[in-house]
Amino acid sequence: MVQSQVLDRTFSALADPTRRDILERLAAGPASVTELAEPYGISLPGMLKHIAILERADLVASEKRGRTRRCRLGPADMDEASDWIEHQRALWERRFDRLDSYLGHTAKGATHE
């Protein structure tokens, strides 16, 4: 259940192009909220909303120094999200393999009949 909530928050946080951009930007180094907001022409409250969603998923951490809020990448490393997708892909591929071998078998059967 707890792991499920981590996945909910991570995938929700990643489901927005601005939030994915923020993560790419922060991978290059910390930045203030003002610096993050600038390229998008969105308001500071709008940017703070995005930051809050990323912080809830532990993808970003921020702290206030004087009048400036500095953001950096958070402790979450997206391992859970990545693992879930890989697990699902493995199930998927196994299913396609079975389908492949079934179709191969059927096709062979057909040519011999």
Tokens of 104: 């191969």
Tokens of 8: 């909910």
Are the beta carbons of 32 and 70 closer than 8 angstroms?
A: yes
Binding test (CB under 8 A) with its own copies, winner from 34, 38, 89, 102:
89
> H/E element holding 33?
helix 33-37
Pairing of strands 60-65, 31-32: unpaired
- The minimum distance between CB 79 and its own copies, in angstroms, equals 8
- Rounded to the nearest angstrom, the gap between the alpha carbon of residue 82 and the centroid of all alpha carbons in its chain is 8
Tokens of 73: 């990448």
> H/E element holding 82?
helix 79-112
Among 10-18, 39-47, 48-56, 62-70, which window interacts with its own copies (CB under 8 A)? 10-18
The interface with its own copies within residues 90-109 (CB under 8 A) comprises: 91-92, 94-95
Q: Which is nearer to its own copies, 85 or 107 (CB)?
A: 85
Q: In the stretch 48-87, what mask flags binding to its own copies with x, by CB under 8 A?
A: -------------------------x---xx--xx-xxx-
Catalog residues that contact its own copies under the rule CB under 8 A: 4, 7-9, 11-12, 14-17, 20, 23-24, 27-29, 73, 77-78, 81-82, 84-86, 88-89, 91-92, 94-95
